[in-house]
Amino acid sequence: MRDKDHIDFELLKQKIVAVMQQSQPGINPVISEWKGQEITDFQEDLRIRVNSNISEKWFYTHMKSPRSTFPRIDMLNILSKYAGYANWDDFLFKTGKETLLAEEPLINPIRKVGINRYFILVPMLTLIIMVVLFGLFKLFNVREYRFCFVDQDTREPIVNNRVEIILLPEGESPVHFLAAKEGCFLLKTDKSRIRMVVSSPYYHTDTLVRIVRKLDREEIITLKTNDYALMIHYFSMMKVDDWEKRRKRLDEMIDNDAMICQVINSREATGMALYNKEEFIDLLTVPTSRLKNIEILGMQERKNRITTLRFRINEKKR
């Protein structure tokens, strides 16, 4: 008998004992120790349950010795049926599954702990590594860029003038910057594409898109002069005898429905004052003992005429 056959047959003997114990609770649990009446009771129970017979000699030959001769398949089928299975093959199949299930608790606690740790630690380590790599990527890819603004006509830096930069990041709110007095501003970013709006009171507002490169850390940007803004500023500073000529030029520059606003911020008062076109022209052309130094804060044009104008009178330069 092969070792595997021996193990299976010994297991079948245990199943037979379990069936016998249902009707004979006090029967010896070791089938190889059965004798006399116990064997007779088994023969009778076998006849009742599966309508089959075995001789006492067959029992001693195959059931008493742990290394007895392996029974024929027809007898194995009868004994398997007595034990509650369809046949010997059914017994082997079902007890094989039972054996695996019985062994699993001995193996699985360690295996399950390993699996649980695997499914917890691996994603955690992966996440930590990704966070660290992302942080390093951001750190090493952040670069500082310097943008300097110059007059398009003179190519001179735009200094001592208000240059406002509105950065337009994709999917984010705009970010506002002011250029330094020397006309430059610094930007730290890890982006390769930058979109920004640049505006200055005496220059036309422009929307710029730049593809920044790691090696190009400084860029010169030209701004186009707003002639109307400069002209109004000069009119307020210059002494001109021909006031009618100046009024005519202002009348051509300013739209009839222009909205003109003066921002007041002085020791005496703060607030705003509104002017219509004629009132503003009077402000710049009517002779006065005081020189009015107008500083343009913002301007909009349509069809070469000023439609919106914000200004203040610089008290320090009177």
Provide the pLDDT for residue 68: 65
311 token code pair: 């200004």
pLDDT of residue 100: 55
Does 311 have pLDDT greater than 70? Answer: yes
The three-state (H, E, C) secondary structure of the chain, written as one string: CCHHHHHHHHHHHHHHHHHHHHHCCCCCCCHHHCCCHHHHHHHHHHHHHHCCCCCHHHHHHHCCCCCCCCCCHHHHHHHHHHCCCCCHHHHHHHHHHHHHHHHHHHHHHHHHHHHHHHHHHHHHHHHHHHHHHHHHHHHHHCEEEEEEEEECCCCCECCCCCCEEEECCCCCCCEEEECCCCCEEEEEECCCEEEEEEEECCEEEEEEEEECCCCCCEEEEEECECHHHHHHHHHHHCCCCCHHHHHHHHHHHEEEEEEEEEEEECCCCEEEEEECHHHHHHHHHCCCCCCCCEEEEEEEEECCEEEEEEEEECHHHC
Q: Where are the domains of the chain?
A: 3-84, 143-223, 230-317
Structure confidence by residue, pLDDT tens digits, 101-140: 555 554 455 455 555 676 787 788 888 888 877 666 655 5
**230-317: which CATH architecture?**
Roll (3.10)
For residue 166, is it left (φ>0), alpha (ψ between -120 and 50) or beta?
beta
Q: What is the pLDDT of residue 142?
A: 77
- Residue 315, pLDDT > 50, answer yes
Q: Give the pTM.
A: 0.48
Residue 178 has pLDDT above 50, yes or no: yes
Q: Is the pLDDT of residue 212 over 90?
A: no
* Whether pLDDT at 145 is above 60: yes
What is the per-residue pLDDT for 135? 64
pLDDT at 211: 82
Per-residue model confidence (pLDDT) at position 252: 92
What average pLDDT does the chain have?
82
83 vs 236, residue with greater confidence: 83
Per-residue model confidence as pLDDT tens digits over 22-48 = 888 889 988 888 988 998 989 999 999
pLDDT for the residue 103: 52
CATH 2.60.40.10 fits 143-223, yes or no: yes
For a pLDDT cut of 70, what percent of the chain falls above it? 82
| Residue at token pair 């005898």 | 241
pLDDT range class, residue 189, cuts 50, 70, 90: confident
Q: 62-76, 151-165, 194-208: which range is least confident on average? A: 62-76
**What confidence score (pLDDT) does residue 318 get?**
46
Confidence of residue 289 (pLDDT cuts 50, 70, 90): very low
Is residue 205 within 8 A of residue 183, CB to CB? The reply is no
CB 208 within 8 A of CB 196: yes
